[in-house]
Chain A
Amino acid sequence: MVDATVNTQSGPRGPKPKKALSSTNVIIYGTLFVVCMYYLLPLYVMIVTSLKGMPEVRLGNIFGPPVEVTFQPWVKAWSEACTGINCEGLSRGFWNSVWILVPSVIISIAIASVSGYALANWRFKGSEVFFTILIFGAFIPYQVMIYPIVILLRESGEGITSVLKAFNPMLEAMGFEGFKTFRLMGSVSGLVIVHTIFGMPILTLLFRNYFTSVPEELFKAARVDGAGFWGIYFRIMLPMSLPIFVVAMILQVTGIWNDFLFGVIYTKPETYPMTVQLNNIVNSVQGVKEYNVNMAATLLTGLVPLVIYFASGKLFVRGIAAGAVKG
Chain B
Amino acid sequence: MTYSVEIKQLDLAFGAVKVLQGLDLNVSEGEFLVLLGSSGCGKSTLLNCIAGLLEITDGQIFIKGKNVTWAEPSERGIGMVFQSYALYPQMTVKGNLSFGLKNAKIPKNEIEKRVARAAEILQIGPLLDRKPGALSGGQRQRVAIGRALVRDVDVFLFDEPLSNLDAKLRVDLRVELKRLHNQLQNTMIYVTHDQVEAMTLADRIAVMKGGAIMQLGSPDEIYNKPRNLYVADFIGSPSMNFVEGHLEGGLFKVDDMVLPMDGYVFAAPQTADRLATIGIRPEHVVTGELVPNAPLQFNVDVDLVEPMGSDTLVYAKLGQHPFRIRMDGQASVKVGETISIGVDPSRASLFDTATEDRL
Contact = CB atoms under 8 A, between A and B. Distances in A.
Interface of A: 215, 217-218, 220-227, 231, 235-236, 239-240
B103 A220 contact: no
A170 B13 CA distance: 57
B147 interface: yes
20 contacts: A217-B83, A217-B85, A218-B84, A220-B48, A220-B80, A220-B82, A221-B80, A221-B82, A221-B144, A223-B53, A224-B51, A225-B74, A225-B100, A226-B73, A226-B104, A227-B103, A231-B103, A240-B88, A240-B89, A240-B90
B79 interface: yes
Contact of A224 (B53, B83, B90): B53
B68 to A, nearest CB: 13
Interface string B66-91: 00000011100011101111111110
Identify the 3 closest CB pairs spanning chains A and B, nearest first: A226-B74, A225-B100, A226-B103
Contacts of B48: 220
B80 A224 contact: yes
A218 B84 CA distance: 8
Contacts of B104: 226
Contacts of B100: 224-226
B53 A225 contact: no
A215 B84 contact: yes
Given A226-B104, A235-B99, A221 B90 contact: no
Interface centre among A217, A224, A226, A227 (most CB of B within 10 A): A224
Given A231-B103, A235-B99, A240-B90, A223 B84 contact: no
A223 B82 contact: no
A199 to B, nearest CB: 27
Given A223-B53, A224-B51, A224-B80, A217 B86 contact: yes
A239 B90 contact: yes
A126 B85 CA distance: 32
Contacts of A218: 84, 86-88
A227 B96 CA distance: 13
Counting contact residues on chain B (CB < 8 A from A), the size range is 20 to 34
Interface in B146-168: 147, 151, 159
Contacts, number: 64
A242 to B, nearest CB: 9
Interface centre among B74, B104, B147 (most CB of A within 10 A): B74
Given A220-B82, A240-B89, 7 more contacts: A218-B87, A222-B88, A225-B74, A225-B99, A225-B100, A225-B151, A235-B99
A223 B88 contact: no
Given A231-B103, A235-B99, A223 B86 contact: no
Contacts of A224: 51, 53, 73-74, 78-80, 100
A226 B99 CA distance: 9
A236 B91 CA distance: 9
Interface centre among A217, A235, A236 (most CB of B within 10 A): A217
A31 B147 CA distance: 59
Nearest to B153: A224
Contacts of A231: 103
Contacts of B83: 217
A113 B74 CA distance: 25
Contacts of A226: 72-74, 100, 103-104
Contacts of A223: 52-53, 72-74
A37 B43 CA distance: 62
A232 to B, nearest CB: 10
Nearest to B85: A217
Contacts of A239: 90
Contacts of B51: 220, 224
A217 B82 CA distance: 7
A309 B186 CA distance: 57
Interface string B15-58: 00000000000000000000000000000000010011100000
A224 B90 CA distance: 18
A230 to B, nearest CB: 12
A320 to B, nearest CB: 27
Interface centre among B52, B78, B88 (most CB of A within 10 A): B88
Contacts of A217: 82-86, 159
A281 to B, nearest CB: 48
Interface centre among A221, A226, A236, A239 (most CB of B within 10 A): A221
A124 to B, nearest CB: 11
Contacts of B85: 217
Nearest to B81: A221
Interface in B203-231: none
